Structure 1
Amino acid sequence: MKVLLTGGSGFLAVHCLDALLKHGHDVVVTVRSDEKGQYLQELFKGKPFSYVIVKDIGAEGAFDEAVKTDPPLGAVLHTASPFHFKITDNKKDLLDPAINGTTGILKAVHRLAKSVRSVVITSSFAAISNYSNPPKVYTEEIWNDQTMDEALNTTNPQAAYRASKKFAEKAAWVFMESQKPSFTLTTLCPPMIYGPVLHQVKSLDDLNVSSARILRLYQGIQRSGPAGSLMHVDVRDLALAHVLAIDNPRALNQRFLMVAQLASEKELRDIMEKNFPEIRGHLKDEATDALPPFGIDNSKSVNVLGINYRPLEETIVDAVKSLKALGA
């Protein structure tokens, strides 16, 4: 099957490309520049994929040309969305790109790629997280309770990011209900995504947010602020879930919470010190062993998608090994 993969040069997307190719798919990838596309061509030399440039995913008609392929597309994996906290304007920097990018790909497929039967969108646990009134156990049924007014006016960049993921996913489901396209929709909601780095990283300063967190903990760099999310999923498991969702009839028009487990900051650091003894005693902060007062129910992803989540130690060790290869 021919599959379009958006955001193709990102941390998750490169693993999605790897999984798609291993499952025998022919892939078209969207990237922001020729340089990123050529990096992927070198990484997956000889494999059946090509790339197209989409410089601004939030622009009107951004994906119009990307969805026109020969042979025609059968599925779309949409992973492209901003994930950063360098924000000066919540609407312009986060909300608009996330919402317009998501609805933009759906509009393009609906108008120009009638052959597409399934679309899979990478949402986020951020679209589920309910910080003002957390449940005892998180499931796919729960939504972030932020309002648009709160999203536009918050001075907390993490809150603005969480809102962008909620409203982007909500917009996708509204589109499905109002337009009734010929394709189905599946959304996947991961928390922090850890694991080995495959995408192009010119400098450790350019790491994606979740890999940078692993790097700081490995290097013992003092943290500013709270420990952050204590939920994780391995990037390889999440990438496989995207591919499995394409053809699984039980996954169509469904939402999945993609969380392997809860793990404290101390647990992550202990795994690192066990496997990389050279860093013992070099932690410049106290790693907290606190866990959140709620649980997670990932049974739907296990039972419907068939995901067998990797153990935490494998995820963290492989992540650190890849960072060391980059010069950590």
Structure 2
Amino acid sequence: MNTKAERVLVTGGTGFLAGWAIVQLLERGYRVRTTVRSPSRERAVRDAVANQIDARDRLEFSVADLSTPHGWDAAVAGCDYVIHAASPLGGANPDAPDEFIVPAREGTLNVLRAATAAGVRRVVMTSAANTASPTSYSEHGVYDETTRSVDDPSFGAYRRSKIIAETAAWDFMADHRGATTLTTVLPGAVFGPILSLENLRSVQIVQRLLDGRLPGVPRIGLEVVDVRDVMDLHIRAMTAEQAAGQRFLGTGEFVWMRDIARALKAGLGERAKRVRTLQLPDVAVRLAARTDRGLKEILPGLGRRSTHTTDKARRLLGWQPRPAAETVVGAAQALVAWGVVR
């Protein structure tokens, strides 16, 4: 429990990750300020947080957008820490990767410029595990934080945005001589219970399985991690002296999509009757990807089993993620409770 009522800025308050960051910080006694792109979004954030905790007067808002430097100085003013969880959703045009990349990079730099100018103690930035993955998808093995992905135009826009934004962050901090330190957290595939229907992100995979929209499951493996564990890692990294200037992988248990489908069947019983556990042949997935952009983006991962180790987070920060089955079932139960699936 934080007894000093230190203030933490959480960027992107309407997001899946940010919502749980706000909840957990409030539970630990911090004061929280979060950014929204418009004052009209404040009510949605308060309602989402209220599903878990009464924020009372410890939650406040600041208007700031990743795409512009305006508003960030005011957002960080008086804050001890920053958790930069905001990430661009991209535009409607899937052939325009800059709609992801530019706001991710410039938004990160806007946050860091404001935070360092204000003398914030530490910025903890949400990156992604695939920024610590080999360039070639044909490579298999176990990777740690010393692996640094290099941008490649053949990558999907989301992965490129994470690689470029994290690289820009470390480059910026290399020239910084002030008191502010940076730590980055690299989560895997983030699932778990939702606080609202805003930005379901990875949880949409569970939604599609429960709806029976998938005739089977592709041979894709995911390092499933619970959103609550991801944000716990952020907060541990925020205050631990030994976390300054470090990267921490926050991946979970490696499971195949078929394992996820089976976990839903076992955990939800009749409510998962539409979930199909048939594993689709790779050739069928490749054929379907000719007309389905979503499938096309996952093709490089078919049958791939490279993983990441979280030994560093466990050893230095005492971090311990929960089992993948518990996480995906928790996500499914939340979707049912919210009426997203029947």
1:100 to 87, 103, 106: 106
The within-5 A match list for 1:78-227 is 78-83=84-89, 86-88=92-94, 90-111=96-117, 113-114=118-119, 116-132=120-136, 134-147=139-152, 150=153, 154=154, 159-198=156-195, 200-201=196-197, 207-222=199-214, 226=218
Alignment match, 1:5: 10
Q: Distance in 2 between matches of 1:182 and 1:264?
A: 43
Q: Distance in 2 between matches of 1:169 and 1:118?
A: 15
Alignment match, 1:306: 318
TM-aligned CA distance change 1:226 to 1:60, over 3 Å: farther
Q: Distance in 1 between matches of 2:75 and 2:216?
A: 41
Q: Distance in 2 between matches of 1:237 and 1:288?
A: 31
- 1:80 is paired with a residue whose SS is coil
Q: Which amino acid aligns with 1:20?
A: L
Alignment match, 1:66: 75
Deviation at 1:47, TM superposition (A): 5.0
Alignment match, 2:256: 264
Q: Distance in 2 between matches of 1:313 and 1:283?
A: 15
TM-aligned CA distance change 1:225 to 1:143, over 3 Å: farther
Q: Which runs of 5+ in 2 are unaligned?
A: 1-5, 282-301
Q: Which amino acid aligns with 1:125?
A: A
Q: Which amino acid aligns with 1:297?
A: T
- 2:224 is paired with a residue whose SS is strand
TM-aligned CA distance change 1:257 to 1:85, over 3 Å: farther
TM-aligned CA distance change 1:12 to 1:280, over 3 Å: closer
Deviation at 1:179, TM superposition (A): 2.4
TM-aligned CA distance change 1:12 to 1:4, over 3 Å: same
Are the equivalent residues in 2 in contact too, given 1:21–1:48 (CA < 8 A)? yes
- 1:209 is paired with a residue whose SS is coil
Deviation at 1:264, TM superposition (A): 0.9
Are the equivalent residues in 2 in contact too, given 1:265–1:288 (CA < 8 A)? no
Deviation at 1:224, TM superposition (A): 9.6
Alignment match, 2:39: 34
TM-score, normalised via structure 2 length: 0.83
Alignment match, 2:66: 57
CA RMSD of aligned residues (A): 2.4
Q: How many residues align?
A: 309
Q: Distance in 1 between matches of 2:71 and 2:219?
A: 37
Deviation at 1:208, TM superposition (A): 2.2
TM-aligned CA distance change 1:80 to 1:295, over 3 Å: closer
TM-aligned CA distance change 1:250 to 1:264, over 3 Å: same
2:241 to 242, 249, 252: 249
Q: Distance in 1 between matches of 2:181 and 2:210?
A: 41
Q: Distance in 2 between matches of 1:213 and 1:223?
A: 13
TM-aligned CA distance change 1:50 to 1:227, over 3 Å: farther
Are the equivalent residues in 2 in contact too, given 1:269–1:287 (CA < 8 A)? no
Deviation at 1:58, TM superposition (A): 1.9
Q: Distance in 1 between matches of 2:128 and 2:157?
A: 13
Q: Distance in 2 between matches of 1:57 and 1:280?
A: 39
Deviation at 1:146, TM superposition (A): 2.7
Per-residue CA deviation, residues 230-285 of structure 1 (Å, 9 max, x unaligned), is 11210000011111111101111100111111011111111111122215553457
Are the equivalent residues in 2 in contact too, given 1:5–1:76 (CA < 8 A)? yes
